[in-house]
Structure 1
Amino acid sequence: MPHRTIHLFRKGLRLHDNPALLAALQSSEVVYPVYILDRAFMTSVMHIGALRWHFLLQSLEDLRNSLCQLGSCLLVIQGEYVEVVRDHVQKWNITQVTLDAEMEPFYKEMEANIRGLGEELGFEVLSLMGHSLYNTQRILELNGGTPPLTYKRFLHILSLLGDPEVPVRNLTAEDFQRCSPPELGLAEHYGIPLPTDLKIPPESISPWRGGESEGLQRLEQHLANQAKHHSLPPVSLQGQLLWREFFYTVASATPNFTKMAGNPICLQIRWYEDAERLHKWKTAQTGFPWIDAIMTQLRQEGWIHHLARHAAACFLTRGDLWISWEEGMKVFEELLLDADYSINAGNWMWLSASAFFHQYTRIFCPVRFGRRTDPEGQYIRKYLPILKNFPSKYIYEPWTASEEEQKQAGCIIGRDYPFPMVDHKEASSHNLQLMKQVREEQYRTAQLTRDDADDPMEMKLKRDHSEENLTKTKAARMTEQT
């Protein structure tokens, strides 16, 4: 007998390459396309800020319009996730629930709860992988049951797997016509809430619009541009997708991946706890224009270039402030439109040299790195207009301009824009010594207390220690600045 199916949209707010939705349409007499807006979950677990709320609502609007064009609709139901499923399975006589398989622990728990509900109420649950290129479990199996902790090892495992599966075919109106649409009036009853309904500030809107249609257009433009530059992995789009897959794989098998404590691949570091310094970094008041412009763009637009993410993360952690990567990760999680459990935490561990990355002597200078990228400081002038009248030679270090030059620029440092909150040279040199001590201490501890060759942190420390011994000249460059 054909199913009566609820298809749950979660992360995959799209119609193209959606294997779970295609399976629902092929096996059902009626399909209810549902998005459950669990506000408590979104704020307490996902920690999304105002920009991300707007982006989500835009994405739902686009999905609704695409479904309407194919003769269906989107039902947005507000409430606690499992209770919403329980109520509507009974209300609509549902025999099947379909959804994307996800790897984040909270989504795994959510799916497990739905499966438990299915056993209780007698409906089937079908989840299919659609959010990653490969089945991460297969990668783990080929690596002996543990995640590959280096990109090189990861690529080797992929070479054994071969190419990823091709996308499933695009959905058509005929696919939806084979099923009955939801009853008339449901779409109006379960409409998409307005930002005001959710008490979201209306001015908090990014220039980046959400939705599958916008995403596909940007992808086509990016591919057209890439074809002109002939970029290769790891900097090409393909290379970046593999980095994404790498972090997804490691996160899927690492307990407490978004935390330092209890995380077996993460160095245990006694970071400083300094709420005032953290606030200055978060609110673009560090006194370093390059860093403050980055944090301003992040707050205004919800997006920054990956090199800007590197600079901001290094400054907060091992570069200047010695504040935990967890604190920076939380800020990015709130503000980034593309915030992602695996990629966000993975990159913060990487850039703080807490995991994956062993070349900790490389520190991004908050002056020279930006100047080399943008000598005229146009980026700073755009996002920090208070500094726009400074000559280019001062735009990255406005505190070095004379008082008269500051007056001519219309910005007095210390009054209109803050002095640098740290001496970068002193802070980075001190932090470099701290990082060296941390790694040496934890390596010695691992040698004394562990006899488990399979322990991921011990293997990492041994590998890094060997590489450091083989490259003493590099490690000796204590003041190296990128």
Structure 2
Amino acid sequence: MPNYRRKEDVNKAAVSHLQTLSWSRDEYNMSSSRTHKTLHWFRKGLRLHDNPALLAACTKDCAEFRPIFILDPWFVKNARVGVNRWRFLLQALKDLDDSLKKLKSRLFVLKGKPHEVFPKIFKEWGITRLTFEVDTEPYARVRDAEIIKLAKEHNVEVIQKISHTLYDTEKVIARNGGSAPLTYQRFQTVLSQLGAPPRTAETLTSEHLKGCITPVTADHDQDYGVPTLKDLKVDTADMGEVVFPGGETEALKRMERYLKKSNWICNFEKPKTEPNSLEPSTTVLSPYLKFGCLSARLFWHRLQEIYKQCKKHSQPPVSLHGQLLWREFFYTAGLGVANFDRMEGNPVCRQIPWENKPEYIEAWTHARTGYPFIDAIMTQLRQEGWIHHLARHAVACFLTRGDLWVSWEEGQKVFEELLLDADWSLNAGNWQWLSASAFFHQYFRVYSPIAFGKKTDPQGEYIKKYLPMLKKFPKEYIYEPWKAPRAMQEKAGCIIGKDYPRPIVDHGEISKVNIKKMAAAYALNKDQNATEKGTPKKRKSEADANEKSKSKKPKKGSSEKITNFLEK
């Protein structure tokens, strides 16, 4: 952490800097007549648009304003975060700092544990108000409660605002009788009672900061600048090319680029997109939503503007609005379900006797399963930090109930490390879904690591891109290279078992065995231990409804009725 100067030194430096920036005497006098010295604490929500907590720091009674981001050295060293996500975060912070510079402010990056940093800066900077965005993750709730307590001890006012989610997730749970809705249909019904998501807050501009100065010294970059990967001592061995640059600027550009495709927006259906196209068949806005570089509410309402212009458009759960609601669904479940990121003690998760197979985990993680479609996906994940949603389906099913019979918690850890959009609630929820542990229970529906990829990429171009050792195999063998004659392997310059591994399991055989294992586990968990665990019967019936709602053909107008609130 930088050495903090005495308050008097900071004030002198602030005045000096204001003069160099040609701030008028009237502006400075306006600032000096104000009372509050405010901090805005960036965590997620790395943006200036639709950030009500940020605006709350820059009200008319603000004299000094410091936007901060805290990097905990322990977290840097021990967190399950890969190099691509670190790079994305640092790019987002740099972009945020650049945007603040244009408003004659700067981002202050501090190093240390939040509970150690805040008492120091409360005192050194004479802080009277702290603002930040609400975070519903368990770790964040504990952390924030501790900081709120410290703030009260230092007579610092705390203002929290909701803007990372479309809705107040606590209100959603309350409206559902105190528990999280566990089916998408029930979730939509609850939201229809709450109405459309709130409108976005205005973007922070220089007008908001008139008279609210940011004390910036000449050595700001040295003391509080955004660090580099080298500064953080992050291992860059696995760092790929920048495919998705971090930051609010890129997020807004990317959103606008897709919003111009109104016909594509109106007809978008997630299941009809391709998991193995060479260019993404979806928006890839998820990393920007994860870090809050893009407001979910802004995207929602911009989509709504386009939907109003369409004669007809796709509906949730498959539409783009539907994708935002899936995000909201899992955020709500993550808040309302205990131990949501693990099997043990999780009341909605079936207890399945997964096996501990380190060699399988290693092969799956490092793209050595011998199934080209699976290995190409895992290679893309490691290189770029993103894979299509249906590609995630394929590799998750393969690791768990489909082939390797490894716990979804192991896959969750790998995704947490490698995904740019690794999001605690969504990661845990989707892994439970795809392993048929919760939410989705048709365990007999298994993704083929061979046939699934062929449907959308029969030539295997995706495999050739990410597994170049297989690029000379003809399309007849690109998904099953072990079946190629030896002479063909030699001609392709890739001997199976030497240059590329043989299949780690026989999918045709093992998938049948695993379906029987799942059936046995379901029989053992018939009532999901409702009596022993105290799980409400309501939860079980809702989970079953996920399948029932899929098997029934919707009545005409039913989807419109549930989502009618979208039009308001």
Q: How high is the TM-score relative to the length of structure 1? A: 0.93
Q: CA deviation at 1:361?
A: 1.4
| Structure 1 match to 2:536 | 454
SS class of match (2:395):
helix
Write the mapping of 1:303-342 to structure 2, written as runs, cut at 5 A. 303-342=386-425
Counterpart Cα distance in 1 of 2:147 and 2:156: 10
Counterpart Cα distance in 2 of 1:453 and 1:109: 25
- Write the letter of the residue equivalent to 1:219: M
Q: CA deviation at 1:454?
A: 2.4
Change over 3 Å in CA distance of 1:172–1:430 after alignment to 2: same
Q: CA deviation at 1:82?
A: 1.3
Counterpart Cα distance in 2 of 1:376 and 1:398: 13
For residues 177-205 of structure 1, what are the alpha-carbon distances to aligned partners after superposition, in whole Å with 9 as ceiling and x for unaligned? 23011242363221111211111244614
For residues 351-391 of structure 1, what are the alpha-carbon distances to aligned partners after superposition, in whole Å with 9 as ceiling and x for unaligned? 00011002221110000000112111000000000000000
SS class of match (1:300):
helix
| Structure 1 match to 2:513 | 430
Change over 3 Å in CA distance of 1:413–1:226 after alignment to 2: farther
Residue from 247, 267, 273 that aligns with 1:211: 247
| Structure 1 match to 2:224 | 190
CA contact (8 A) 1:265 1:456 kept: no
Change over 3 Å in CA distance of 1:120–1:159 after alignment to 2: same
Change over 3 Å in CA distance of 1:237–1:365 after alignment to 2: same
Change over 3 Å in CA distance of 1:451–1:51 after alignment to 2: closer
Counterpart Cα distance in 2 of 1:455 and 1:268: 17
SS class of match (2:58):
helix
Counterpart Cα distance in 1 of 2:471 and 2:480: 13
CA contact (8 A) 1:325 1:349 kept: yes
| Structure 2 match to 1:301 | 384
Q: How high is the TM-score relative to the length of structure 2? A: 0.79
| Structure 2 match to 1:439 | 522
Counterpart Cα distance in 2 of 1:391 and 1:303: 27
Counterpart Cα distance in 2 of 1:453 and 1:408: 59
Write the mapping of 1:270-289 to structure 2, written as runs, cut at 5 A. 270-289=353-372
CA contact (8 A) 1:443 1:465 kept: no
| Structure 1 match to 2:558 | none
For residues 231-250 of structure 1, what are the alpha-carbon distances to aligned partners after superposition, in whole Å with 9 as ceiling and x for unaligned? 22323321110000000011
Counterpart Cα distance in 1 of 2:428 and 2:219: 39
Residue from 65, 80, 85 that aligns with 1:47: 80
- Return 56-65 or 189-198, whichever deviates more: 189-198
- Write the letter of the residue equivalent to 2:113: E
Provide the aligned C-alpha RMSD in A: 2.1
2:124 corresponds to 1:85:
no
Residue from 234, 257, 264 that aligns with 1:200: 234
SS class of match (1:175):
coil
- Structure 1: where are the runs of 5+ without partners? 471-482
Q: CA deviation at 1:445?
A: 6.9
Counterpart Cα distance in 2 of 1:294 and 1:140: 36
Counterpart Cα distance in 1 of 2:98 and 2:178: 43
CA contact (8 A) 2:35 2:62 kept: yes
- Write the letter of the residue equivalent to 1:332: F
SS class of match (1:174):
coil
Residue from 53, 66, 71 that aligns with 1:37: 71
Q: CA deviation at 1:444?
A: 5.4
CA contact (8 A) 1:13 1:60 kept: yes
Write the mapping of 1:103-122 to structure 2, written as runs, cut at 5 A. 103-122=136-155
- Structure 2: where are the runs of 5+ without partners? 1-33, 269-313, 553-568
Residue from 165, 178, 186 that aligns with 1:132: 165
Residue from 453, 460, 468 that aligns with 1:370: 453
Counterpart Cα distance in 2 of 1:426 and 1:460: 33
| Structure 2 match to 1:476 | none
Change over 3 Å in CA distance of 1:219–1:445 after alignment to 2: closer
SS class of match (2:473):
coil
Residue from 380, 386, 391 that aligns with 2:474: 391
For residues 285-332 of structure 1, what are the alpha-carbon distances to aligned partners after superposition, in whole Å with 9 as ceiling and x for unaligned? 000000000000000010001111110100000100010000000000
- Write the letter of the residue equivalent to 1:356: F
Residue from 87, 92, 102 that aligns with 1:59: 92
Instruction: Report percent identity of matched pairs.
Output: 50
Counterpart Cα distance in 2 of 1:75 and 1:268: 46
| Structure 2 match to 1:479 | none
Counterpart Cα distance in 1 of 2:257 and 2:547: 44
Q: CA deviation at 1:105?
A: 0.7
Q: CA deviation at 1:215?
A: 1.0
Change over 3 Å in CA distance of 1:452–1:84 after alignment to 2: closer
CA contact (8 A) 1:443 1:458 kept: no
CA contact (8 A) 1:98 1:125 kept: yes
- Return 451-460 or 391-400, whichever deviates more: 451-460
SS class of match (2:209):
helix
Q: CA deviation at 1:456?
A: 5.6
Q: CA deviation at 1:47?
A: 1.7
Q: CA deviation at 1:22?
A: 0.5
CA contact (8 A) 2:442 2:547 kept: no
Counterpart Cα distance in 2 of 1:463 and 1:244: 19
